[in-house]
Structure 1
Amino acid sequence: MKLSVLDQSPILANTNPTQALEQTTELASTVDQLGFHRYWVSEHHSTNSLAGSAPEILAAHLAAHTENIRIGTGGVLLPHYSAYKVAESFRVLETLHPNRIDVGVGRAPGGMPNVNLALNRGKLPRVEDYPKQVEQLMAYLHGEDPAQMDVYATPQGETSPDVWMLGSSGTSARLAAELGTSYSFAHFINGHGGMGAMDRYKNNFAPSIQQSTPKGNVSVFAVCAETTEQAEYLASSLDLALLQIEQGGIRNNFPTPEEAINYPYSLFQQDRIQENRKRMIIGNPSTVKEEIESLADAYGVEEVIVNTIVYPFEERIRSYRLIAEAFNLV
């Protein structure tokens, strides 16, 4: 089974955005050496606690600082942009780093509602054009002229990046199947219905210019430590962060475990934490390995993407290292 990494470039407590991006670079280099398969970075706008607002730029930086791991976006929010321009950006990346680049795309706004207006010159994006955009993106990446304007995405070459459609619902699964892209389900966003969505994708897949058979993976929050008690302690900060995000709280940093443990949770908030735990895998190495394998079996995929957000940064590194050792990646 393949293990990969999703990094949202979190700004942890007592750090700043510069340090967050430095940590992203260090983490990418570390998991490359540990044997992880791919490394995706996300797109979030006007978000104080996440530093990744331009994943295509960050991907270029990370590809230059790693050797073997695939680098990509999780993902580019395509309704905000020109499919042609995105294709050219990733054709440059593919030319610099052949057979190592992924283009993960999604249609979410990437922030609060006004982000849509700021990114689209005061107008709302036409999300109904998203399927056509993905189709055009794939065509441009493979040297075609989908608009029939004698326009091609350059630089052209013998290899092309893989397009992955990101989603957390059956709608995205259906669209990925119709267009013939690879499909990644965000279990860390929606802990319900993912297995059905993946089945829908596989059962309705139509071959495309990119691939002849379906290919999927699933992403999940995971916290691994030497003991279950330590993992629970570290994961408490993620519990609090998700709760505050759901309640519209604005933070400049992710909280510490100490802050989370001392937080005065209401009964409702305690219930929400238990519900959110359905999006997480937490425990010692053997437990985490078993649950990751079970998740992969439930989704019928051969790749799981791990998203670990804990404080301090050294514990994020240790969590990934323990998972790599549990799976004998190194």
Structure 2
Amino acid sequence: MKLSVLDQSPILADMDPEKALQQTTELAAYVDKLGFHRLWVSEHHSTNSLAGSAPEILATHLAANTERIRIGTGGVLLPHYSAYKVAESFRVLETLYPNRIDLGVGRAPGGMPNVNLALNRGKLPKVEDYPKQVEQLMSYLHGEDPANMDIYATPKGASSPDVWMLGSSGTSARLAADLGTSYSFAHFINGHGGMGAMDRYRNHFTSSIQQSEPKGNVSVFAVCADTQEQAEYLASSLDLALLLIEQGGVRHHFPTPEEAMDYSYSFFQQERIKENRKRMIIGDQKTVKEEIESLADGYGVDEVIVNTIVHPFEERLRSYELIADAFNLT
């Protein structure tokens, strides 16, 4: 089974965005050496707790600072942009780093509602155009002229980046199937219905210019530590962070475990934490390995993407190290 990494460049307590991006760079080099298959970075706007707002730029930097691991976006929020421009950006990336680039795309706003207006010159993006955008994107990436305008995405090359459609519902799964892209289900966003969505993708898959067979993976929050108790302690900060996100709380950083332990939780909040734990895998090496394997079996995939957000950064590295060791990655 392949293991991969999603990193959202979290801004931890007592840390600035510059340090967050430095840590993502250090993490990329580290998991490259550990043997993880790919690393994706995300797109979030106008947030004080995540530093990754331009994944195509960050991916370029990470590819330059790694040797083997596939690098990609999880993902570019396509309704905000021109399919042609995105294709050219990733054709440049593919030319610089052949057969190492993934282009994950999504249709979420990437922030609060006003982000839509700021990114689209005061207008709302036409989300209904998203399927056509993805179709055009794939055509441009493979040297075609989908709009019949006698234009092509350059630089041309022998290989093209893989397009992955990111989603957390059956709707995105069916769209990925209809367009013939690879499909990644965000279990860390929605802990319900993912296995059915992946089945829907496989059952309705149509071959495309990119691929003839369905290819999927699943991403999940995971915290691995030397003991179950330590893992629970570290994960408490993620519990609090997700709770504050759901309540619309303004976050200037990801909380520490100490902050989480000192927080006074209501009965409703405790129940929400239990529900959010369905999006996480938490424990020692044995527990995490078994639950990752179980998740992969349930989804019918051979790749799981791990998203670890803990404080301090050294524990993030340690979590990935323990997971790599548990699966004998090389």
Per the TM superposition, whether the score is higher than 0.5 is yes
Kindly report the root-mean-square deviation, in angstroms, between the aligned alpha carbons of the 2 structures: 0.3
CA distance in 1, matches of 2:234, 2:263: 14
| Aligned equivalents of 2:285, 2:271: Cα separation in 1 | 26
Tell me what 1:265 maps to: 265
Specify the alignment match of 1:297 in structure 2: 297
Cα distance in 2 for partners of 1:162, 1:69 equals: 14
Partner of 1:324: 324
Please name the residue that 1:104 is paired with: 104
Q: Report the Cα distance in structure 2 between the residues aligned to 1:251 and 1:214, rounded to whole angstroms.
A: 39
What is the alpha-carbon distance in structure 1 between the residues aligned to residue 321 and residue 246 of structure 2? 30
Distance in 2 (CA, whole Å) between partners of 1:123 and 1:256 is: 38
SS of residue paired to 1:166: strand
Cα deviation digits, residues 107-127 of structure 1 (max 9, x gap): 000000000000000000000
What's the offset of the Cα at 1:252?
1.0
By how many angstroms is 1:76 displaced? 0.1
**1:147 equivalenced with 2:143 (yes/no):** no
| CA distance in 2 between partners of 1:9 and 1:172 (Å) | 25
Report the counterpart of residue 276 of structure 2 in structure 1: 276
2:200 aligns with 200
Q: What SS does the corresponding residue of 2:61 show, helix, strand or coil? A: helix
Question: Which residue is equivalent to 1:88?
Answer: 88
TM superposition score normalised by structure 2: 1.00
Number of residues of Structure 1 aligned to a counterpart in Structure 2 = 330
Partner of residue 158, structure 1: 158
**Residue 66 of structure 1 corresponds to which residue in structure 2?**
66
Q: CA separation in 1, counterparts of 2:252 and 2:144?
A: 44
In the aligned structure 2, how far is the partner of 1:249 from the partner of 1:326? Answer: 36
Matches within 5 A, 1:205-220: 205-220=205-220
Unaligned runs of 5+ in 1: none
Deviation string, structure 1 residues 98-152 (Cα, Å, up to 9, x no partner):
0000000000000000000000000000000000000000000000000000000
Whole-angstrom distance in 2 between the partners of 1:81 and 1:151: 17
Distance 2:144 2:302 in 1: 31
User: 2:26 — aligned with what?
Assistant: 26
CA distance in 2 between partners of 1:252 and 1:64 (Å): 30
Q: Which amino acid aligns with 2:94?
A: E
In 2: Cα distance, 1:309 partner to 1:283 partner: 14
Matched residue type, 2:307: N
- In the TM superposition, residue 215 of structure 1 has moved relative to its aligned partner by 0.1
For 2:183, the aligned partner's letter is Y
1:38 corresponding residue in structure 2: 38
Provide the rounded CA distance (Å) in 1 between the counterparts of 2:280 and 2:13: 21
2: distance between equivalents of 1:70 and 1:126? Answer: 31
Aligned counterparts of 2:248 and 2:69: Cα–Cα separation in 1:
35
Aligned to 2:167: 167
| Distance in 2 separating the partners of 1:192 and 1:40 | 23
Equivalent residue letter for 1:229: E
State the 1:50 CA deviation: 0.2
Letter in 2 for 1:59: A
**Given residue 192 of structure 1, which amino acid in structure 2 is its aligned partner?**
H
CA offsets per residue over residues 281-306 of structure 1, 9 Å max, x none? 00000100000000000000000000
Provide the rounded CA distance (Å) in 1 between the counterparts of 2:300 and 2:249.
Answer: 36
Moved over 2 A (4+): none
**Mapped partners of 1:134, 1:101: distance in 2:** 17
- Three-state SS of the structure 2 residue aligned to 1:138 is helix
- C-alpha offsets along residues 56-113 of structure 1, whole Å, 9 cap, x if unaligned? 0000000000000000000000000000000000000000000000000000000000
Aligned to 2:177: 177
CA shift, 1:14, in A, is 1.1
**Counterpart position of 1:287:** 287
- For 1:69, the aligned partner's letter is I
Task: Give the Å deviation of 1:251.
Answer: 1.0
Unaligned residue ranges in structure 2 (runs of 5+): none
Secondary structure at the counterpart of residue 305 of structure 1: strand
Give the share of equivalent positions with the same residue, in percent: 85
Task: Supply the distance in 2 between the matched residues of 1:280 and 1:28 (Cα, whole angstroms).
Answer: 22
Q: For 1:210, what is the secondary structure of its paired residue?
A: coil
Aligned residue for 1:241, secondary structure, equals helix
